[in-house]
Structure 1
Amino acid sequence: MADNYTVLEGRTIVLGITGSIAAYKAADITSRLTEKGARVYPVMTASACQIIQPLTLQTLARNPVAYDLWKEGQGWQPGHIDLADQADLLLVAPATANCIALFAHGLAPDLLSSIHLATPAPVMIAPAMNGKMLAHPATQANLALLRERGYHFIEPDSGMLACGYEGQGKLAAVDRIIETVEAFFASS
């Protein structure tokens, strides 16, 4: 068994997927984390469901995908609280400017942001958005606030963006995301 495999073995990762066009890469992230022994629970925003189907992630994670705050589990405890309690890490990849703003300001209008507010687990964010949105002072202020609170970030890459512009804002390479998660658990 490889060392990297054991680092994630048995870890519970709640994988938040937001409405960036990079949401399709969540399939690869889910698959790779699962192959390395992590228990992955995908949580999708409504806009992410417009880009990639929940069934894809459910199949790769071998766990149900949560995407609707009002259609939670059958038990007495709200599903978002159960997921929040189980998490060893809340990884949001990709994270839109909207998601980052919700997290920074403690708003919880959807399932992912509700899990965020309820979890005691560390939060790791991989932003993905148009470079102008990333550079906007409001986004930069939200990122700075989350950094002050101890959030972990996987910085976006530069390159051709889905909008046709070239610049920073591209979701970090999947390899770098996986390596960053492994390094996080190896150091904790």
Structure 2
Amino acid sequence: MLLSLDVKGKTIVLGVTGGIAAYWAAEIIGALRDREADVHVIMTKNATHFISPLTLQTISENKVLTNSFELSGEIEISHISYAKKADLILVAPATANFIGKIATGIADDVLSTTIMAVNAPVLICPAMNDMMWANKIVQENVEKLKKHGYYFVDPEYGVMACGGMGVGRLASMESILGKLMAL
């Protein structure tokens, strides 16, 4: 049951990538904050087309990172400081593109560089069209990441943005939080 989940006092870095399921990030932040987690958000550039950084900053009560090269006047290097403070990184939603980047070691934005620098567990929650999820290359990338110690909550069956039915939609909040607490 969700109420028994204990993330109190934990620092969760939520990575949000550019898919239609990005709007669920607000719900995820709310659920984690309700359980007294300290949530810090990193968004890819494409994620900002689906939900605004201001929305997620307001809900998380922390600055949202969107660019590795922002000049903020701070001395700390954002991706390293987030990697050090994270008890866990949760990427929800994770696009096929982002999964492929991580699987091949591409670190060209603040989220991917943070993941490359972190020692904490990384939980990836894919969300994409069912045909993309079934693609052999995507599945190979997922398996490669699992071999390297990354955790996954697989997408679920249901109505997708294209109007069709299939396996590809973001997993339920219960599934995501349940797996997060098992780590």
The normalised TM-score by structure 1 is 0.92
Aligned residue number for residue 80 of structure 1: 79
Change (3 A) 1:154 1:75: same
User: Equivalences for 1:23-34 in 2 at 5 Å?
Assistant: 23-34=22-33
User: Equivalences for 1:14-29 in 2 at 5 Å?
Assistant: 14-29=13-28
For 2:157 and 2:3, locate their aligned partners in 1 and report how far apart those are by CA, in whole Å. 31
Residue identity in the other structure for 2:73: Q
Change (3 A) 1:92 1:183: same
Unaligned runs of 5+ in 1: none
For 1:8 and 1:98, locate their aligned partners in 2 and report how far apart those are by CA, in whole Å. 29
Kindly indicate whether the alpha-carbon contact (under 8 Å) linking 1:13 and 1:39 is maintained by their aligned counterparts in 2. yes
Residue identity in the other structure for 1:173: S
Displaced runs of 4 or more, over 4 A: none
Aligned residue number for residue 115 of structure 1: 114
Secondary structure at 2:82 match in 1: helix
Aligned residues: 182
For 1:72 and 1:109, locate their aligned partners in 2 and report how far apart those are by CA, in whole Å. 17
The normalised TM-score by structure 2 is 0.95
Deviation at 1:137?
1.2
Give a deviation string over 1:24-62, Cα, whole Å, max 9, x none. Answer: 000000011011011100110111100001111111111
Aligned residue number for residue 173 of structure 1: 172
Secondary structure at 1:68 match in 2: coil
For 1:128 and 1:104, locate their aligned partners in 2 and report how far apart those are by CA, in whole Å. 16
Give a deviation string over 1:45-93, Cα, whole Å, max 9, x none. Answer: 1111000011111111111111111115433231111001110101000
Deviation at 1:104?
0.5
Unaligned runs of 5+ in 2: none
Residue identity in the other structure for 1:121: A
Residue identity in the other structure for 2:118: T
Secondary structure at 1:8 match in 2: coil
Residue identity in the other structure for 1:155: D
For 1:178 and 1:93, locate their aligned partners in 2 and report how far apart those are by CA, in whole Å. 11
Matched, 1:4 2:24: no
Give a deviation string over 1:110-142, Cα, whole Å, max 9, x none. Answer: 111011111111100000001111111110110
Calculate the aligned-residue CA RMSD, in Å. Answer: 1.5
Deviation at 1:176?
1.9
